[in-house]
Amino acid sequence: MRTVHVHTGKPYDIMIERGILDRCGAYVRELTQAEKVVVVTDDNVAPHYLWRVINALDQQGLQVKTHIFPAGEKSKTLDTIADIYKVLADFRMTRKDVLVALGGGVCGDMTGFAAATYLRGVGFMQIPTSLLAQVDSSVGGKTGVDLPQGKNLVGAFHQPFAVLIDPDTLKTLPDKFIADGMGEVIKYGCIKNAAFFDFLENENLTDRIEDVIEVCVSIKRDVVSRDEHEAGERMLLNFGHTLGHAIEKLRGFAGITHGMAVAVGMVLMARAGERNGHTEAGTADRIVRLCEKYGLPTEDSATVHGMAEAAKGDKKTAGSRINLVLLRKIGDSFTLNLPLNELEAFITE
């Protein structure tokens, strides 16, 4: 087993091992005083893995309820949270009881937000089953839901008590969702680790998946441990996300995955950085080639004006200004605080 310890205000471990899914009940019993567990998952994941999680919890004598929601970003709403609250209330959950998020980033974000707000905070475990969730969204304690005006505009910081990563769950993912996760994987090389970026350029991901997951969560662990509530360095994790979120919003959160939108956002920000003298020449082309290697798009039909307008509702805005994440070169990132009215000109090709 590979274990990555997260040093936040509420420390916890990320455990990476094939087959760990079947031992989730033992970890709930060991790490909490729970008697009741609500497992939240979606209708894509449930047929593959829900029975195994229920069986593992049953073996520990835990009382279990489940909530299954329709898969996809369109379910990431306050209405779904209200449905989860109803399950928790009807089950008479107490503060010692816990939730389990079994699924991808949407499931983890929503389950975490429900846990953060029900009874003013109960525990939850992350069992991420998508590559994107395993390398990124399950770690760090960011939870939340979308509004029509933008992504993740309602949320809370709430750390899980454990993250269990079973790489075998990736075997049931369509290629589209492996590519989706690679958007976040490539981001980590861009912002913090040039050697990892080189590795992704030269190696076959599927042959070294545990290494990839461990590197990504270790980078995020280090950043989150130093800046749990995104007051400074943690903003760097948003490379490609400002424009990526804008593209998702313009698409109505349909037709493009989060990782794909982030890939386009990274390319656009790298090109803008080069044009404005912040980024080493050739950086954007390297990102384009790596994105294309893993089946990610590098451009979108959205207009620069549309993206700039959509980005004005991003949670990284502060008054009349916005924090953009740029690269000096691969592996070296920084934030640039820019007036919102200069954003469109900054990213215009």
Active site residues: 120, 142, 184, 220, 230, 234, 238, 241, 245, 258
Which amino acid is present at 72?
G
Tokens found for residue 141? 């304690």
Q: How many helices (H) and strands (E) in the chain?
A: 13, 12
318 to 215, 270, 278, 339: CA distances (angstroms): 32, 22, 22, 10
d(CA 337, CA 322): 6
**Contact status, residue 208 vs residue 286, Cβ threshold 8 Å:** no
324 to 58, 102, 159, 166, 298: CA distances (angstroms): 47, 32, 26, 34, 19
Query: What residue spans of the chain are helical by DSSP H?
Result: 24-31, 51-58, 78-90, 105-117, 131-132, 175-192, 194-202, 209-226, 241-250, 258-275, 283-293, 304-311, 343-347
Side by side, which strands form the sheet with 321-329? 317-318, 321-329, 332-339
Tokens found for residue 199? 């590795």
**Contact status, residue 241 vs residue 259, Cβ threshold 8 Å:** no
